[in-house]
Amino acid sequence: MMATTTLDQPVKAPTFRQVSPARRLKNQIATVVMWLSFLIALIPLGWVLITVIQKGAPALMRSGWFTKSQKGILPNQFGGGVYHAMYGTIVQSAIAAVIAIPLGVLAAIYLIEYGRGWLAKTTTFMVDILAGVPSIVAALFIFALWISTLGMQQSAIAVSFALVLLMLPVVVRSTEEMLKLVPDDLREASYALGVPKWKTIVRIVVPTAAPGMISGMLLAIARVMGETAPVLVLVGYSKAINTDITSGNMASLPLMIYQELTNPSPAGVERVWGAALTLILIIAILYLAAAAANKFLTRNR
């Protein structure tokens, strides 16, 4: 009589007690090292955040900080607000997002779904180059092209063009990673039903990857909001709000911080820390919005 085989029976995973003492010790050491590294990295971050909140909170508590500009306010005079700089930061980043997000998404879709041959390799190479370009180099490139060559004025639109160069690789890479996470089974099932490839991408692939893509877009916007080099090179500072993006000076939060650093008075110091805290709050709101959008879209997908 033949003995029964146990090949079809499920293999039980070893419990923690069954693991050898040496491996358990290595696991515990790795866990301790990881938590220590996390705490060490958290110390300077928390220190910076507490310092900015302590020094910037008095400015935010003043009446009109979010609703007034610095127009008519003397350098050593307390008062005014950051409304003009907030407007400039949001407008410049929004224009850059309107240009960079469609280009980045289309480039990522091409690289993942269609990318073959020399064109895909060239596109990937250029995205890698843009990802490593310092912000000052992007600003000088736009200055040489837009202002020196084409004869345009220093303006907010020039800043937005520089921010596009900094935002584009972030959008492309984040979108690529999200598209890679879409299971190939979904694509193959759609193809089996006779759905064209472009419609499969539009109706199946992109909606499936949409939560992560939107999070990546918001994080890309938050990443360029704090850039200082483009605003220093491509536009001047204005204490009043300027709604014309093609000409004239326009303030932004990084530019306001830089401008007020030359003002040693207590009012100037307060404005520096207040603008820094305002910038941190805006970026934090964007990060929270990215997390909320990802969670909401994932739940309702």
Residue extents of the structural domains in the chain: 83-299
Q: Return the pLDDT at 22.
A: 83
Q: How confident is the model at residue 212 (pLDDT cuts 50, 70, 90)?
A: confident
- pLDDT, greater one: 164 or 301: 164
Using one digit for the tens of pLDDT, what is the confidence trace for 8-19? Answer: 555 565 565 566
**Once rounded to an integer, what is the mean pLDDT over residues 231-255?**
91
Q: Return the pLDDT at 166.
A: 93
Q: Return the pLDDT at 55.
A: 92
Q: What is the mean pLDDT of the chain?
A: 88
Q: Return the pLDDT at 1.
A: 44
The answer on pLDDT for 223 being more than 70 is yes
The answer on pLDDT for 199 being more than 70 is yes
Q: Is 108 exposed, middle or buried (0-12, 13-18, 19+ CB in 10 A)?
A: buried
Q: Return the pLDDT at 178.
A: 92
The answer on pLDDT for 264 being more than 50 is yes
Tokens representing residue 200 in the block: 């499969």
Q: Return the pLDDT at 16.
A: 53
Q: How confident is the model at residue 299 (pLDDT cuts 50, 70, 90)?
A: confident
- pLDDT, greater one: 61 or 12: 61
Q: Return the pLDDT at 280.
A: 92
Instruction: Write the CATH number of the domain with boundaries 83-299.
Output: 1.10.3720.10
> How many whole angstroms separate alpha carbon 276 and alpha carbon 220?
19
How far does CA 183 lie from the centroid of its chain? 26
Helix axes 135-142, 156-180, angle to 10 degrees: 130
Q: Return the pLDDT at 96.
A: 95
**Once rounded to an integer, what is the mean pLDDT over residues 67-95?**
90
DSSP string, 203-257: IIIHHHHHHHHHHHHHHHHHHHHT--HHHHHH----SS----SSSS----HHHHH
Give the whole-number percent of the chain exceeding pLDDT 90: 48
> How many whole angstroms separate alpha carbon 101 and alpha carbon 98?
6
> How many whole angstroms separate alpha carbon 124 and alpha carbon 172?
10
Q: Return the pLDDT at 8.
A: 54
The answer on pLDDT for 277 being more than 80 is yes
Using one digit for the tens of pLDDT, what is the confidence trace for 65-74? Answer: 998 999 888 8
The answer on pLDDT for 296 being more than 90 is no
